[in-house]
Amino acid sequence: MNPRRRSFIRKAVYLVVIFALLFPIYWLGAPSTVDTETMKGSRGGLLAQKREKNGLEQVYYGKIDPTSETLRLATLGMRGIAVDVLWLKNIEYQKKKDWTNVSATLNQIIKLQPNFIDVWRHQGWNLSYNCSAEFDDYRERYHWVIKGIDFLKLGTTYNQREPRLLRDIASFISRKIGRSDEHKQFRRLFREDDDFNGALPKSERDNWLVGKTWFRKAEDLIDTQKASTRGMNPIVFRSEAGMCQMNHGAAIEKEGVFGERARRAWQQAAKDWEEFGQYAIPTSTGLIVRLGQLDRLVGERQERFDEINKLGQGIHQKLQEERLSQLTDAQRKAMNTPPRERTSEQFALAQEAAALLDIEPQEIVRNRRFPREHLEKAKKLLEHIAQVEELARTTKSYRGIVNYEYWQNRAEIEQMDEMRAGRELVFRGGEALAEGDLSAALDAFARGSAHWFSVLQRYPTLMTDSSTGDDLEELLEEYGKALDQRDELFPPDFALAPYIRAQVQDNPKMYQIGASMKKADEAEKADDPGTACSFYFKALESWRQIIEDLPSLEQRSDPFTTATVLATIRKYAESLRKNDQTVPNDFILHRFVRVQMEHDPETREAQRAMERAEDAVAKQDLAAARKAYEEGFARWRDILERYPTLVGDGTLGPELMILVDGYRDVLKQENQELPKDFPLQEIVDRYGQP
């Protein structure tokens, strides 16, 4: 064979082999042509299918950016090192507050690694939360929050099947803007931000509503395109859109929007929450729960239980009678005491009694009196009850994760006219207070409080809710400020007094107060004033902490509690006296007592008498002056008996001594001295000149 022919044959063989290799290459490497919108087209070769199966396919990530590809190729396979270097530079720039280069290096990093989701998430957070916090001007901070959000939005164009990025965008728009310290300013800037919101009408530019639409986008991506929910807790994730609507309602009310718009917002929130309640959530035990179906499950259990009772022919009633007869007197008494009035011991006893009286269906079926002929059917019913109970238990525990019941009630309550009126009055009261219109403020606060109380009466669970607590704390603080400016206390018929009392009763310190008072009483009975004194003091220390938690108590927001504290103080002072001790100058409740004293009518009378005395002195009418002084001091004596710790009040003592000196001057002019039975001798002994 001549060389030319050999060469020709070799080339022909090469061509054939190349052609033959095309088939396996096509079989392995044909690209996918599936349209991400319509999901139509070829699924491609084996590798394309594997990539799709494992969520690795590049085309699904999003756009293929020529710049990004160029940069990646230009690093000659050392992309990781390049990114590391850039990342370190980024940290250094951030440390040195070189924000231009922080942005520039980020831009380069994402061009090199556009599909590394954690880079997007981490740096999006870094921009919106860390970089923004470095700025003093809130407008700059907002600018950087938006920069982080825009960064994440860019990430979604490269990674179209990544719900985590959508969720982060939603979370930043809603929470970062709506919950920051600067949320008022941020929300305002967000409304005015034409660049971010584009054509969205200003009325819809609420960060919570915009956040909600992004949460919905993330949900849609998972529901329609089966995107991975990696790293997301399904129950929390699915609740977020609904929560955004709730927060929108709450936010606009804080900004003074009530009326129909607020009602519609809460109506939508209730609807969203209802929908969320119907969503099937997979659990770690394999059960599928729907949070809104707890009532149905409880009802279903009760129906099956009733059926068992029916089959049991009165066993349930007999068992209950037997158990009732087994209760001790103390348990009976505890059960008959209304829950709010129970002591801690009674609370435990009542719980024991309730557990004893709670008869399970199994007990009925296992009872020897249960008719044999219905046993098979009853066992099936028991099995069904067990399944329903497990589902109900899981549902309940999952409801707890998102506080389902509270938000369900809240969405209902906030739609009530009563509630909205209450909120509006409190808001208007705040406005009037800021403008200095005290009468309007006090009137609005008083009426707002009444509306609030009527809502609390209808929904007593709100009494223990922290969010309601925050709202009412704000109301009490504002109301208290207005009263303070008028030098007044809360009115005796203050509508929210029962709420305050409930707060006091629920305070864990109350158990300590109860225990301390019991021990103090025992010591009193044992004629041991020293021990009594120390226990009274312990009780008062607990009271001081309660007053710190509920500062409105100082302004007598609940007269009952105030009276209780004053009674304890009197007992403490009495025990001190019996123990030959004086009230210390740094007595922990001096301020509280002083406020009560200052607003006591007797104090006003005493002050008037003293004013009369000073007038008479000015007119040189010594007899009238003396009479007025004596009347005044007698009243002060009464006051000191009512508030015995005032003797140790370092502010009041010297003030009284000035009056005493005036009286002395009058007596001196009549060549007399202070009488031996002078009502304020205690003050003179303590604060008078030696």
- The contact set with another protein (CB under 8 A) reads 66-67, 70, 95-101, 103-104, 107-108, 111, 135-138, 140, 181-182, 185, 195
Q: Which is nearer to another protein, 195 or 677 (CB)?
A: 195
CB of 268 to another protein, least distance (A): 31
The residue (of 71 and 287) whose beta carbon lies closer to another protein is: 71
- Taking the complex as a whole, how short is the minimal distance between the CB of residue 107 and another protein, in angstroms? 6
CB of 120 to another protein, least distance (A): 16
For residues 28 and 304, give the distance between their C-alpha atoms in angstroms, rounded to a whole number.
59
C-beta of residue 365 within 8 angstroms of C-beta of residue 260:
no
CA dihedral 375, 377, 378, 380 (to 10 degrees): 130
Residue 461 CA, distance from chain mean position? 14
| Nearest-angstrom CA–CA distance, 187 and 172 | 12
Token readout for 484 is 């303070």
Q: How far is the CB of 109 from another protein (least distance, A)?
A: 13
* Shortest spacing between CB 141 and another protein, in angstroms: 9
Q: Which residue has the tokens 């044909």?
A: 30
Nearer to another protein, 63 or 366 (CB): 63
The DSSP code for 288 is E
- Beta carbon nearer to another protein, 98 or 307: 98
Nearer to another protein, 101 or 467 (CB): 101
Question: Residue 23 burial (CB < 10 Å; 0-12/13-18/19+)?
Answer: exposed
Is-contact 244 415, C-beta < 8 A? no
**Do 272 and 408 form a contact (C-beta atoms < 8 A)?**
no
Cβ proximity to another protein: between 176 and 420 the closer is 176
Q: Are strands 281-282 and 288-289 parallel, antiparallel or unpaired?
A: antiparallel
Contact (Cβ atoms closer than 8 angstroms) between residue 679 and residue 633:
yes
For residues 137 and 493, which CB has a smaller minimum distance to another protein in the complex? 137
Q: What share of the chain is helix, strand, coil (3-state, %, to 5)?
A: 80, 0, 20
Contact 646, 686 (CB under 8 A): no
CA dist 138 and 143 (Å) reads 8
User: 186 vs 404, which CB is nearer to another protein?
Assistant: 186
Structure-token pair, residue 228:
């991975």
Q: 16 or 74: whose CB is closer to another protein?
A: 74
Paired with 281 in beta bridges are: 289
Residue 186 CA to residue 196 CA, distance in Å, equals 13
Terminal Cα-to-Cα distance of the chain (whole angstroms):
140
Give 70 or 313: the residue with its C-beta nearer to another protein: 70
Going 257 to 260 to 266 to 269, the CA torsion angle's sign is negative
How far is 135 from 130, CA to CA, in rounded Å? 10
How is residue 673 written in tokens?
A: 């001295």
Residues 668, 674, 675, 681, Cα dihedral to 10°: 170
- Shortest Cβ 441–another protein spacing (Å): 23
Instruction: Give the shortest CB-67-to-another protein separation in angstroms.
Output: 4
CA 37, 39, 42, 46 torsion: positive or negative? positive
* Distance between CA atoms of residues 238 and 502, nearest Å: 35
Q: What's the rounded Cα separation, in Å, for the pair 599 and 639?
A: 11
**No. of H helices and E strands in the chain?**
35, 2
Min dist CB 137 to another protein, Å, is 6
CB of 150 or CB of 638, closer to another protein: 150
Residue 502 tokens, joined: 């409930």
When the beta carbons of 119 and 613 are compared against another protein, the nearer one is 119
* Residues 181/57, Cβ–Cβ less than 8 Å: no
Are 299 and 434 in contact by the 8 Å Cβ rule? The answer is: no
How far is it, in rounded angstroms, from Cα 224 to Cα 146?
28
User: 43 or 143: whose CB is closer to another protein?
Assistant: 143
Q: DSSP letters of 582-607?
A: ---TT-TTHHHHHHHHHT-HHHHHHH
Closer to another protein at the Cβ: 136 or 373?
136
Smallest distance, another protein to C-beta of residue 82, A:
14
